[in-house]
Amino acid sequence: MANFLIFTSYIVVTLSLANGFINGVDAARAFFVFGDSLVDNGNNNYLATTARADSPPYGIDFPNQEPTGRQEIGSEPPLPYLSPKLKGDKLLVGANFASAGVGILNDTGFQFKLHDLGARKVLVTGTGSMGCAPAELALRGINGECDVELERAASLYNPLLVKMIKRLNKDIGDDVFIAANAHKMQIDFITNPELFGFATSKEACCGQGPYNGVGLCTPLSNLCENRDLYVFWDQFHPSEKANRIIVQQILTGSNDYMHPMNLSTVLAMDSIGV
């Protein structure tokens, strides 16, 4: 069975698939993650930074109130690469290199050739609905409407991402790179929250100020009673329910959301050695 590497940068999520053998035996899948706070499962807890989620009310609905570690496909989640527990057999599960606050520019991020390093399937998520986050409604929005400039940037970015993915796959001669249209996934329930069981897509569950979009989510912030009614958890990040909807689209979404295939198709092909 092939090894998986998950790469993320900023809000770009990459899933890489490479063949791996350990002592001559086909190895189980391993996941490696790179990115920002959307996928940071604890690295920043070991860093001197305010960009971390290891204090209440983060994780309030998760067992033991731990704010990170969920994984939908059922395998053991990889540990943060800074965790002292990441050694021995845990390395075979993979590692999460994501760090809250990381960027995509050369001065904040990093670049390398995934395919040259053995990556065989790379899932890249485009930018989400940047102009509709509570922080942007509070800072830039007019009468609770999404910021037009940021939404225009997102709407331009995602088609260009698909175009780049097609070009890369053509150059390689295989469907290595897969694009996930995160903007469309989010805008569906942002523009029609009631259809998905949400009460609001404007106000964050945790925060302060207009739309609860000002400042960090802390124990002193306003906190909603029912997190499932909110599209956004804090000023930027989707709620757990919203994230589950996004993950399901990544797993089973049509070509409107996933190009050229969804993650379930990738896993099915991997299981039969395609």
244 and 158 within one domain: yes
Total number of domains in the chain: 2
Q: For this structure, is 37 an active site residue?
A: yes
102 and 191 within one domain: no
180 and 84 within one domain: no
pLDDT digits (tens, 9 = 90+) for 216-236: 999 999 999 999 999 999 999
- Residue 140 falls inside a structural domain: yes
pLDDT digits (tens, 9 = 90+) for 104-140: 544 444 444 656 666 677 888 888 898 999 999 999 9
Residues in the chain, how many?
274
- Residue 34 falls inside a structural domain: yes
Q: What pLDDT, on the 0 to 100 scale, is given for residue 38?
A: 81
Q: For this structure, is 221 an active site residue?
A: no
Cα 31 to its chain centre, rounded Å, is 14
211 and 127 within one domain: yes
Q: For this structure, is 183 an active site residue?
A: no
3-state helix, strand, coil split of the chain in percent (to 5) is: 35, 20, 50
107 and 79 within one domain: yes
- Residue 10 falls inside a structural domain: no
Percent of the chain exceeding pLDDT 70 equals 80
| Mean pLDDT across the chain | 81
Whole-angstrom distance, CA of residue 122 vs CA of residue 50: 30
Alpha-carbon dihedral sign for residues 97, 103, 104, 109: negative
> What residues make up the domain containing 71?
27-112
Single out the catalytic residue among 237, 239, 259, 270.
237
Res. 246: pLDDT tops 50: yes
Single out the catalytic residue among 37, 99, 201, 221.
37
237 and 122 within one domain: yes
- Residue 11 falls inside a structural domain: no
Q: What pLDDT, on the 0 to 100 scale, is given for residue 262?
A: 93
Res. 10: pLDDT tops 60: no
SS3 of residue 132 by DSSP: helix
122 and 101 within one domain: no
pLDDT digits (tens, 9 = 90+) for 20-64: 433 433 445 667 777 788 888 888 888 888 877 888 898 888 877
Single out the catalytic residue among 36, 147, 234, 270.
234
Beta-carbon contacts of residue 206 (< 8 Å; ≥ 6 apart): 57, 212, 217, 221, 222, 223, 224, 233, 234
Whole-angstrom distance, CA of residue 39 vs CA of residue 41: 6
| Rounded average pLDDT over 159-180 | 90
